[in-house]
Amino acid sequence: MAIHTQLLFQLPGHASEHNLLKTGSKLAEWPTGINKRLLENVYTSAPMFATGTIMLNEFMLKLKLLKNDKTGSGPIHSLEVGGWTGGSSSRQSSHNHHRRR
């Protein structure tokens, strides 16, 4: 059994990281948009990124609640710089959409 297959079997929660590491030399293709879904999956679901994203979302929610208390409602603008996938901001947007209902 190949090492990659063993890792996927033994640590399924880290599958996105294992798949990312398996790409190796193809990492240079990402700025062109190739394999964007794989990278997006790492940013949105990999345990090593998910915790930071959850903390960021909680911070943004508290910031919005604080802003609403002081100045009324209104958008909070953010700029995401990183892997060009929108992984962090897509979770925040989804959370905000859900809260508006």
As a dihedral over the C-alpha atoms of residue 37, residue 21, residue 18, residue 59, rounded to 10 degrees, the angle is -60
The closest of 3, 40, 41, 44 to 22, measured between CA atoms, is: 3
Q: Which of 30-34, 35-39, 81-85 has the lowest mean pLDDT?
A: 81-85
Cβ atoms < 10 Å from Cβ of 32: 8
Angle at 3 (CA atoms; ends 7, 34), nearest 5 degrees: 80
**pLDDT, tens digit, 9 for 90 and up, residues 60-93:** 888 888 877 777 677 777 776 665 555 666 655 5
CA atoms within 13 A on the CB side of 74: 7
Cα end-to-end distance, the chain, whole Å: 48
Structural domain boundaries of the chain?
A: 7-100
Cβ atoms < 10 Å from Cβ of 92: 20
Query: Which of 13-17, 19-23, 87-91 shows the highest mean pLDDT?
Result: 13-17
Q: Which of 3-7, 13-17, 87-91 has the lowest mean pLDDT?
A: 87-91
Which pLDDT score, from 0 to 100, does residue 11 have? 92
**Percentage of the chain with pLDDT > 90?**
9
Are the C-beta atoms of residues 78 and 89 closer than 8 Å to each other?
Answer: yes
pTM: 0.49
